[in-house]
Amino acid sequence: MSDTRHAARLALLRLAGRPVAGLGRLGRPAVEAGRTPRILLVRPDHLGDLLLATPTATVLREALPEARIDWLVGPWNRELACRAGGPADVLTLEFPGFTRRSKASAVEPYALLVREAARLRAHAYDAALILRPDHWWGAMLASVAGIPRRFGYSVAECTPFLTDTLPPPSGRHQHAVRANQTLARLAAARLSGRPPTRLLYDPHFAVRPDELDWARAWIAASFGGQTSEGRVVALHPGSGAILKNWLPERWAELVRCLRADHGARVFVTGGPGDREGVESIAAHLDSRPPVLIGETTLGQLAALFASADLVLGCDSGPLHLAAAVGARTIRLYGPTDPVEFGPWAPRDEAAQHRAVAAALPCQPCRALVGPPCGAVAQPACMQAIGVRDVLRASNEILARVRKPC
């Protein structure tokens, strides 16, 4: 977005803030005395961002054990919210800008906002947390819905629609897990008068026994029932943003090295949009690895990661999922910030993860579209990561894996 358009939008949002809040208060349902407080957690993003945000519900539940805490997420994240977001109702919304499709018209996002605000109004929420720092559309939605307390970050576009704010986490170089829970602690303290005592909760995804059984059977069948000591390595090369992806030929070279050095049994996973990249990796290898592209449920993918000795990939939601099920991970970072979105694990598991980045002066630019370098694919920060860098990290992690008895 140009500076002129950004300034014009900011001016309009600031102008709209007070009238929108006033409109939201009109016709709000009466609140029954002594009723259970109702809180809405809003996170429009995809897999990784929501997974890192899920402990916010636990923070609030500690301070407000009687509260009803609901999630508002994209339909693509409904299962994740249900399984990792704690006991809660999960509402879904095709958030503009996150559907990965073009909008029909300039009016569409605002018509949707009015319709969804009416739906939320019927729930009579007492508070909403806008967990994505720059999500002004979500902040406006909560305001139009008449939610009295609206917690978020003091990003210029958002503040006209919020009642309680914190400084944006990017300015503090905080990990997303810590930033989300800091906002939840603010809300808990101001809504209950008693802030949570525990400092941080870890994201966690519970894999069901039937999913683990399926994953282990698939791995055994894919490698011909092999029971050798060769390590099982999962490779998930896709990331949902082309500028975060590593070069296919380097992934292939890494696979060759892992096979030679560790007798590794490597399989490759990916979503429906990853097929071209996965096939390109396979084309560079003499022996094609087992491949699953868009063929697993969320739970099955998590179970595959939990069954592997190591999970490799770029900065992506599936790699956060791998850490959340206790898998060892190595992740490659280019435009994004490993301080903010790096591996998160309990302190006693920190040595099980590596973030590999080239540390160029321009990193992290955080621009996944139109970066300062002008790249449209394979930016210099990803090209600068060598196979030896990733292999060294892999060797360090695999050296900690106990050999089977």
Amino acid 22: pLDDT: 59
Q: Is the peptide bond preceding residue 148 cis, with omega within 30 degrees of 0?
A: no
Instruction: Fill in the amino acid letter for 269.
Output: T
For residue 147, pLDDT over 70 is answered with yes
Regarding whether 67 and 168 lie in a shared domain, the answer is yes
Tell me: pLDDT of 19 over 90.
no
Residues 61 and 177 in one domain: yes
The pLDDT value recorded for residue 405 is 45
**pLDDT number for residue 351:** 83
Rounded Cα gap, residues 362 and 372, in angstroms: 9
Q: Which helix (H) or strand (E) holds 332?
A: strand 329-333
Number of domains making up the chain:
2
* Structural domain includes residue 198: no
**Looking at the structure, do residues 163 and 66 belong to the same domain, yes or no?**
yes
| Domain finish residue from 192, 227, 253 | 192
In the prediction, which pLDDT does 196 show? 82
Q: Based on the fold, state whether residues 177 and 245 are members of the same structural domain.
A: no
Residues 83, 32 share a domain = yes
Q: Are residues 95 and 146 in the same domain?
A: yes
Q: What is the mean pLDDT of residues 350-373?
A: 92
Tens of pLDDT, residues 224-244: 865 566 899 999 999 989 999
Position 290 in a domain: yes
Mean pLDDT for 33-58 is: 92
Q: What is the pLDDT of residues 293-307, one digit of tens each?
A: 999 999 999 999 999
| One domain for residues 117 and 219 | no
d(CA 214, CA 146): 46
pLDDT for res 2: 57
Please state the separation of Cα 295 from the chain's center in Å: 21
In terms of residues, how long is the chain?
Answer: 405
Out of 159, 192, 225, a domain closes at 192
Q: Give residue 23's pLDDT.
A: 59
- Using one digit for the tens of pLDDT, what is the confidence trace for 82-101? 999 988 899 999 999 898 77
The whole-chain average pLDDT of the chain stands at 90
Top pLDDT among 35 and 177 is at 177
Residue 148 shares a structural domain with residue 224: no
Confidence of residue 197 (pLDDT cuts 50, 70, 90): confident
Residue 384, domain extent: 209-398
Q: Is residue 180 included in any domain, yes or no?
A: yes
- State residue 329's pLDDT score: 97
pLDDT class for 116, splitting at 50, 70, 90? very high
Q: Alpha-carbon distance 244 to 241, whole Å? A: 6
pLDDT of residue 211: 98
Provide the strand spans (E) within 175-309. 232-236, 265-270, 291-293
Q: What is the pLDDT of residue 130?
A: 98
Contact 212, 243 (CB under 8 A): no
DSSP SS3 for 354: strand
Do 28 and 102 belong together in one domain?
yes
Residue that is last in its domain, among 126, 158, 192: 192
Q: What is the mean pLDDT of residues 161-172?
A: 84
Give the pLDDT score at 30: 52
Is residue 403 assigned to a domain? no
Structure tokens at 49: 């961002």
- Based on the fold, state whether residues 185 and 241 are members of the same structural domain: no
Domain with residue 348: its CATH number is 3.40.50.2000
Q: Which range, of 93-102, 275-284, 324-333, averages the lowest pLDDT?
A: 93-102
pLDDT given at position 99: 85
Q: Is residue 6 part of a domain?
A: no
CA 92 to chain centre: 16
Residue 213 shares a structural domain with residue 107? no
Is residue 1 in some structural domain? no
Residue 310 covered by a domain: yes
Neighbours of 99 (CB within 10 A): 14
Orientation angle between helical segments 108-121 and 136-144, nearest 10 degrees = 50
DSSP state at residue 289: P
> What are the φ and ψ backbone dihedral angles of 99, each rounded to 5 degrees?
-80, -10
5 located within any domain:
no
Domain shared by 248 and 362, yes or no: yes
Q: Are 268 and 292 in contact (CB under 8 A)?
A: yes
Q: Could you tell me which residue, 401 or 154, shows the higher pLDDT?
A: 154
Model confidence, pTM: 0.91
Give the pLDDT of residue 224: 85
Beta strand 291-293 pairing with 329-333: unpaired
